[in-house]
Structure 1
Amino acid sequence: MIVTTTDLEQYSLILIASTNEHPSPKLVEVNWLPKDDISWRASKSFAQLKKHYRLSADDFSFIDSNSLSRKDPSQALLLTAIDQLDEYAAGKRKVFDLPLDLSLGTEFQQKVWRALQDINYGETISYATLAQNVNNPKGYRAVANANGKNPFSIIVPCHRVIASDGKLGGYTGGLDKKEYLLALEGV
């Protein structure tokens, strides 16, 4: 797997592309790191990724985003992801078009993550509405839990889900990031 980081305003994002598990590369994680922290092994799901794909720490390669090459398919995917994130940050992109490997989640989590992708840019819904959207109307806590395990921050827009009373609720990356993303989208 190839790992890189990119900046989004005052925050750093970690991007991880899968190489050997698929015929063509897919992203397996996009997550937040503290600014200027290149300790990508501290990513919330690093251990889970190693276990899921049966990899050792040596199977991960960190490549600075400035050193990526479009000639390598996995690196090209990372560059495309960075381009799309930059377009999003500049207000020029509302929908991401990237191949994602959702297999890290359970069947229910995957269903929730797919439903998150149906929430339009600049809109929010409640956890209760999201539960209804996945045909589990009383499962708002289960939906909130699946939302919190989303490995694709921003790209799978879990930041667009708020509490029924209009409060932000939680966000695995931190409420400051959720506020930043919603403000960026004009919410």
Structure 2
Amino acid sequence: MQPSIHHEEASTVTSKVEYQSPIGVIEIVGTEEAIVSILFTDSDVVKNGLTDLTFQVVKDCYDELDEYFSGTRKEFTVPYENEGTEFRRNVWQALTEIPYAQTASYRDIARFIGNEKAVRAVGTANGKNKLSIIIPCHRIIGSNGTLTGYAGGLWRKEWLLAHEQKHTDLIF
């Protein structure tokens, strides 16, 4: 279960850094209390790295992403704020229940949140997720097993799923 923080008014002071992942630059934005955004950028070069002024929670997220991409982290512990409607927050919370290296469909998530007819709305909420990787929208596939849309690009989604499969501990 991911730690989630909900505030009526989000802090306006943020700290922003870029992380060079194996599949592109990721911008991490956070307040002093929580991460508010983790999104792939169009840039090929990190322009804004860690500094002494970077908020600790942003540094922690940077480190956790580094561990994820090295294959040593399967769950994230950094607190985050996910601004959205109650429905969207429910969908995003359900996404965090999908285990590492496993997948689910929009229909699975709709059933999980108790609204089986909301498949399209689940898809829309999934697409509005601003916390890539720690809210694992990349683990959503079509009900027929095919890859479906991903804001970061289908090639990144395919890479992330293969990465998780590669680093799954086999239990016999």
Query: TM-score per shorter chain, which class?
Result: 0.7 to 0.9
2:78 pairs with one of 92, 95, 98 = 98
Matches within 5 A, 1:8-27: 8-19=21-32, 25-27=33-35
CA shift digits 1:60-115 (9 cap, x unpaired): xxxx3242x3xx6x62111110110011011100000011111x211110000011
Q: Does 1:166 align with 2:145?
A: yes
Aligned to 2:44: 36
- Output the TM-score relative to the length of structure 2: 0.84
Partner of 1:109: 88
Alignment of 1:8-157 (within 5 A): 8-19=21-32, 25-36=33-44, 64-67=48-51, 69=52, 75-102=55-82, 104-157=83-136
Distance change (3 Å), C-alpha of 1:88 and 1:38: closer
d(CA) in 2 for partners of 1:134 and 1:163?
18
Distance 1:10 1:95 in 2: 19
Cα deviation code 1:93-149 (max 9, x no counterpart)? 0000011111x2111100000110000000001111111001111111100100000
Displacement over 6 Å in runs of 4+: none
Deviation at 1:185, TM superposition (A): 0.6
Aligned to 2:20: 7
Q: CA deviation at 1:37?
A: 5.4
**Percent identity for Structure 1 against Structure 2:** 38
Give, as a single letter, the amino acid of the residue that structure 1 aligns with 2:137.
Answer: C
1:45 maps to none
The 8 Å contact of residues 50 and 59 in structure 2, kept in 1 or not, is answered as no
Structure 1: where are the runs of 5+ without partners?
Answer: 20-24, 40-63
Task: Give 1:38 shift.
Answer: 5.9
Report the aligned-residue RMSD: 1.6
SS in 1 for 2:62: helix
Q: What letter is aligned with 2:120?
A: R
Unaligned runs of 5+ in 2: 1-13, 167-172
Give the match's secondary structure for 1:186. helix
Counterpart CA distance in 2 for 1:82 and 1:97 is 12
More helix by share: 1
Mapped to 2, the partners of 1:34 and 1:134 lie a distance apart of: 33
Contact 2:26-2:41 at 8 Å conserved across structures: yes
Instruction: State TM-score, norm by structure 1.
Output: 0.77
